[in-house]
Structure 1
Amino acid sequence: MLDPLIILVALACGMASRAVGLPALIGYLLAGFLLHELQVGGGDILHILSEVGITLLLFTIGLKLQPKDLLLTRIWGTTLAHMALMQVFFLAVFYLAGHLFPALELSFSASLVGAFALTFSSTVFVIQVMQERGEMASRHAGLAVGILIIQDLAAVVFLGLSAGKVPGPEALLLLLLFPLRGVILRLLTLSGHGELFTLFGLTLALGGAEVFELTGIKGDLGALVIGAVLAGHQKAKELSRNLLQFKDLFLVCFFLSIGLDGWPQREMMLLAVVIGLLAVAKPPLYFLLMTRLHTPPRTALLASMSLANYSEFGLIVVAVAASAGWMEPQWSGAISLAIAVSFLIASPLNRFSHQLYRRWCQRLQTFETEQVRATWPDTKGTRVIVLGMGNIGTGAYEAIAEQYGPEVLGVDDNDRKLAAHRAANRRVVAADASDPDFWHRVDLERVELVMLALTNHEENKLVGRLLEDLGYRGRIAAVVRFAEEAEELENCGISAFNLYAQAGSGFAAHAAAHLGAGRQDASG
């Protein structure tokens, strides 16, 4: 059982971190180091729960995964080139550190594995930050997650080789997962929408990971694969939402366990802090590689900023290497501290990443390739823009198009949605609503109405501020879910439609119309 003091300290540090504008996960990380100083141990249960959190994280990533996206050159090319260059960079850092601090006794094998561990970026950090900002559906989030998945696969390959585990012939039976997809989805449908549905999802993630372990394949990779098998179906999206709170709660244990593992020796601690600060070298290289591989500069910058950190998988790599005798156990504490420092650096970078792009956009656009320029969307003749072409946005588009026809433009960042809308002869373009480059290509003098069907309050506010900065004088309407959100947007001059509060009046109008039609039929 977890010590109540652990829960209390984690809550207090998480609240304090949020109060100063940092992600709560920074507070959890600091809570772990504080609990270590208080000599409070989490025991085996904390590590078990943290492993469950990582398994659920990879499972939910798999649920949203599109395997064909990993074949894009800008994803696999960026990942492999960045990992190779970072490996060389950190080998040079360790070589220099070994000469400056002989007491560290850095062997070549330790430096090699340590450098490899530092080439990864944190899946947990990126997902947490993107979810808090409501950007998980954005192109830069998709790019960052794609890079992280390939990095995680590289880590899994290393762990498999280091453990000397070779998948047995029974691993071939795992190929049955693909023809069983329809059966699993049918069972998910039969399980409804409540606790049975969530329990089934937990069973798929944890049970599936255990099945992969039995065949000699890393369980975390198994959870990712099972999620990917189900990806693309509506039930997969619902399952991802249902497991969100479980995943986040268990990941708190993961961040606590990093700090609870303790501190390294003084020289190693100094090296860890320097390594943590060197995380700032990652974004420029990511940006350069992404843009050379035909990624728009804004997408490249936002994705690069989110990857300016070290990974929890680095800890796993180091722990396995230490158990194999390739490096000293204190490396785990050093990498933990480096991760903590990198998180502290990455948090403000990500918090102000949109502002940074707006400030330096003209200089950053010089990295844009001709291939990217050829994909600029056509926005000519637009009078009404609908941002977000989900169910709400599609309904709004259809209603407003009855009056404005082809002068209505739908905007979304999801390629599958866009393909479906184009098949239905709707005028849509691929763009990010918060991208200033998109708005610079729109004739805002002609646009009369912008409809924000994004359902994410922070993104609605961001777009509203952006349009104000660009001098837009037309009307803005937004969908909100809570009264305080509506009040905040109204104070900014944005007309707010409370989805929940006004759904009742719409339902009543719909029912009254059917009631009137029924009476006419009866009288006729």
Structure 2
Amino acid sequence: MEILFIFAAYLFGLIAQRLKLPPLVGYLVAGFALAVFGFDSTDTLKTISDLGVTLLLFTVGLKIRFKNILSKEIIGGGFLYTLVSSILFAAIGYLLGYGVYGALYFGVMLSFSSTVFAAKVLDDHDDLGAYYGRIAIGILIIQDIVAVVLLGVSGMETPSIWAFSILALPLLIPLLGRLLNRTGHGELLLVFGVFLALSGSWLFKSVGLSDKLGALIIGILIAEQPKSEEVGKVLWGLKETFLVAFFLQIGLMGLPNGNAILLVGLFLLILPLKGLIYFFSLKLFRLRNRTSFWSSSVLFCYSEFGLIAGAGAVSAGILSNDVLVMVALLVAASFVMLGIANKWMSDIYDKFFAFLDNEPEAKHTRDHLPSCIGNTKYLIVGMGTCGTSTYQFLSESKQSVLGVDADPNVIADHRKKGRRVIYGNAVDTAFWSKCNLQSVQGISVCLPVLDEKVAVVKKLRKLGYQNKIDTYYNYDDEAEILIKAGVSELVSPLKLTGESLGRMITYGKEPEKIA
């Protein structure tokens, strides 16, 4: 049975990829197709799905620092959105005849956004560390806290007195750090990463808290350890493979009756309103329009938690089973819509919402844009390992170089080391409009995701930038795509490494000094 599931996921994922859609859209459609032919989920699929979600949330935690989620825009915006949207959906539930208590429960249930889906979209764009991505994840953590309360109200899961012991977890940080450092690299680090994720999940569940929240918190606890990024990298392939089961399982929940399908259509029409509530909740805390829009764009879907909470509500007699089946289709359909929309979200903003960029510049906010870049000759977009090396080379060559990154933590770390790095999202038209690109002789795009590189290069060319743009590629088919987008020069890291090793073995220890 599972072999058929995997083949269906591959087939529909391949079709989605050919249509230039995220493969996860194909996985969802595969689940629906299997359900139409009478297939049901299996215990094996559910176990793999749970592992995938646990690993995903653990790796999300590895990119979050506690101090970044304790901000007014996250706490204030998160609770304000939850309150307003809960009232909206509760009113609709009351009109549908769910009763006062059932309507309130229904309202809170539909106000939640999917942690798994939002994290997956952000991870695919390498934006978990970006400011807007961090806000989105922070709000989802706020919702997870509300979720624990909701499960307790339904009688499905009540935290025990031992839940307070979770507050002592930070005391384990030094021990976990030492273990990480002694683990080394490769497969043993992979095993330790899986152990940590499952341990956090088990620990929280054993005291009556959300097991998924546990995996996230354990990740956050070790996020500032030097090897946290490496842990995330070694878990990447395993996490992505297991997550296929999650999206298949959502689709395999089947199709509801005709009346429920009409309700699904109604709630899908309300999705933009959900996005608007997010947008204005964040705007109250003086975020830029574009930052508020981007954060909202990964949150305006319904949540798989609605299914978990719905099952508890059905068991407690608060809601009927028909409502649960309807919510299952609603969650899956919203995933498909958001998966498609996020592929072109930057273009959608530029085409239909560019007028939002006409706003007074708010000073002293973490997402404010620089007024200018001076007489900078070279820009480095993305200040990770590749970007930092490029910056360092140009700086040591006495060139006027400026780094650009969307992660405030990365920016702060570079500034401590004396590097000139500013905040900016590379697909933000407003950011580039503030740069005097005519004086810039070259731009190095050092972003890790192919789609992001292509989007940045196309945007720069569309804005009339004619000078050099260079980047790197990992596979030969990527090179052709980047050249068509407008890249001037490309380099393959592995080929460059091979050439350097060849020079080193032939001429000596310092190949960088060889002409």
Query: TM exceeds 0.5?
Result: yes
Query: Is it true that 1:260 corresponds to 2:244 in the alignment?
Result: no
Query: Per-residue displacement from partner, 1:17-63 (whole Å, max 9, x unpaired)?
Result: 33323322222222223222222223322222222222222222222
Query: What's 2:401 paired with?
Result: 408
- Checking the alignment, whether the CA contact within 8 Å between 2:425 and 2:431 is kept in structure 1 is yes
Query: Is it true that 1:288 corresponds to 2:280 in the alignment?
Result: yes
Tell me which moved more, 152-161 or 435-444. 152-161
Query: Is it true that 1:323 corresponds to 2:283 in the alignment?
Result: no
Q: How far has the Cα of 1:336 moved from its partner?
A: 1.0
Distance of aligned partners of 1:262 and 1:361 in 2 relative to their CA distance in 1, 3 Å threshold: closer
Query: Is it true that 1:494 corresponds to 2:493 in the alignment?
Result: no
State the distance in 2 between where 1:77 and 1:179 align.
28
Three-state SS of the structure 2 residue aligned to 1:433 is coil
Q: How far has the Cα of 1:175 moved from its partner?
A: 4.2
Aligned match for 1:309, one of 301, 320, 328? 301
Distance of aligned partners of 1:484 and 1:316 in 2 relative to their CA distance in 1, 3 Å threshold: same
Distance of aligned partners of 1:215 and 1:129 in 2 relative to their CA distance in 1, 3 Å threshold: closer
1:156-195 aligned at under 5 Å gives the runs 156-163=148-155, 166-195=158-187
State the distance in 1 between where 2:466 and 2:5 align.
52
Letter in 2 for 1:135: D
Distance of aligned partners of 1:29 and 1:83 in 2 relative to their CA distance in 1, 3 Å threshold: same
State the distance in 2 between where 1:216 and 1:354 align.
40
- Checking the alignment, whether the CA contact within 8 Å between 1:296 and 1:368 is kept in structure 2 is no
Query: What's 2:472 paired with?
Result: 479
Three-state SS of the structure 2 residue aligned to 1:48 is helix
Three-state SS of the structure 2 residue aligned to 1:454 is coil
Query: What's 1:51 paired with?
Result: 50
Q: How far has the Cα of 1:429 moved from its partner?
A: 0.9
Any stretches of 5+ residues in structure 1 without a counterpart? 99-105, 518-524
Query: What's 2:12 paired with?
Result: 13
Letter in 2 for 1:506: S
Query: Is it true that 1:427 corresponds to 2:420 in the alignment?
Result: yes
State the distance in 2 between where 1:138 and 1:345 align.
23
Query: What's 1:67 paired with?
Result: 66
Letter in 2 for 1:23: P
State the distance in 2 between where 1:136 and 1:494 align.
29
Distance of aligned partners of 1:483 and 1:472 in 2 relative to their CA distance in 1, 3 Å threshold: same
Aligned match for 2:457, one of 459, 464, 469? 464
Distance of aligned partners of 1:444 and 1:119 in 2 relative to their CA distance in 1, 3 Å threshold: same
Distance of aligned partners of 1:294 and 1:369 in 2 relative to their CA distance in 1, 3 Å threshold: farther
Q: How far has the Cα of 1:169 moved from its partner?
A: 4.6
- Checking the alignment, whether the CA contact within 8 Å between 2:56 and 2:239 is kept in structure 1 is yes
Query: What's 2:218 paired with?
Result: 226
Query: What's 1:506 paired with?
Result: 500
Three-state SS of the structure 2 residue aligned to 1:211 is helix
- Checking the alignment, whether the CA contact within 8 Å between 1:152 and 1:313 is kept in structure 2 is no
Three-state SS of the structure 2 residue aligned to 1:500 is helix
Q: How far has the Cα of 1:331 moved from its partner?
A: 1.8
- Report which of the two structures shows the higher radius of gyration computed on alpha carbons: 1
State the distance in 2 between where 1:171 and 1:113 align.
24
Distance of aligned partners of 1:220 and 1:489 in 2 relative to their CA distance in 1, 3 Å threshold: closer
Q: How far has the Cα of 1:516 moved from its partner?
A: 8.2
Distance of aligned partners of 1:512 and 1:161 in 2 relative to their CA distance in 1, 3 Å threshold: farther
Three-state SS of the structure 1 residue aligned to 2:444 is strand
Aligned match for 1:337, one of 311, 329, 338? 329
1:347-496 aligned at under 5 Å gives the runs 347-360=339-352, 362-368=354-360, 370-371=362-363, 375-377=368-370, 378-405=372-399, 407-491=400-484, 492-496=486-490
1:116-131 aligned at under 5 Å gives the runs 116-131=108-123
Query: Per-residue displacement from partner, 1:271-310 (whole Å, max 9, x unpaired)?
Result: 1221123112122222222233122222222221222210
- Checking the alignment, whether the CA contact within 8 Å between 1:160 and 1:217 is kept in structure 2 is no
Three-state SS of the structure 2 residue aligned to 1:178 is helix
Distance of aligned partners of 1:176 and 1:33 in 2 relative to their CA distance in 1, 3 Å threshold: same
- Corresponding pairs, count: 508
Letter in 2 for 1:465: K
Distance of aligned partners of 1:351 and 1:3 in 2 relative to their CA distance in 1, 3 Å threshold: closer
Query: What's 2:83 paired with?
Result: 84
State the distance in 2 between where 1:22 and 1:484 align.
18
Identity value in percent: 33
Q: How far has the Cα of 1:234 moved from its partner?
A: 3.0
Q: How far has the Cα of 1:107 moved from its partner?
A: 2.4
- Checking the alignment, whether the CA contact within 8 Å between 2:470 and 2:487 is kept in structure 1 is no
Q: How far has the Cα of 1:111 moved from its partner?
A: 1.9
Three-state SS of the structure 2 residue aligned to 1:502 is helix
Letter in 2 for 1:221: L
Query: Is it true that 1:346 corresponds to 2:338 in the alignment?
Result: yes
Tell me which moved more, 505-514 or 38-47. 505-514
Letter in 1 for 2:70: L
Tell me which moved more, 61-70 or 357-366. 357-366
Q: How far has the Cα of 1:498 moved from its partner?
A: 1.2
Task: Compute the TM-score of the two structures, normalised by the length of structure 2.
Answer: 0.91
Distance of aligned partners of 1:330 and 1:362 in 2 relative to their CA distance in 1, 3 Å threshold: closer
Distance of aligned partners of 1:508 and 1:53 in 2 relative to their CA distance in 1, 3 Å threshold: same
State the distance in 2 between where 1:404 and 1:452 align.
20
State the distance in 1 between where 2:510 and 2:36 align.
72
Distance of aligned partners of 1:168 and 1:345 in 2 relative to their CA distance in 1, 3 Å threshold: closer
State the distance in 1 between where 2:5 and 2:475 align.
33
State the distance in 1 between where 2:196 and 2:328 align.
30
State the distance in 2 between where 1:484 and 1:3 align.
32
Tell me which moved more, 469-478 or 364-373. 364-373
State the distance in 2 between where 1:486 and 1:30 align.
31
Query: Per-residue displacement from partner, 1:332-377 (whole Å, max 9, x unpaired)?
Result: 2110111122223323322221112223455102455533789432
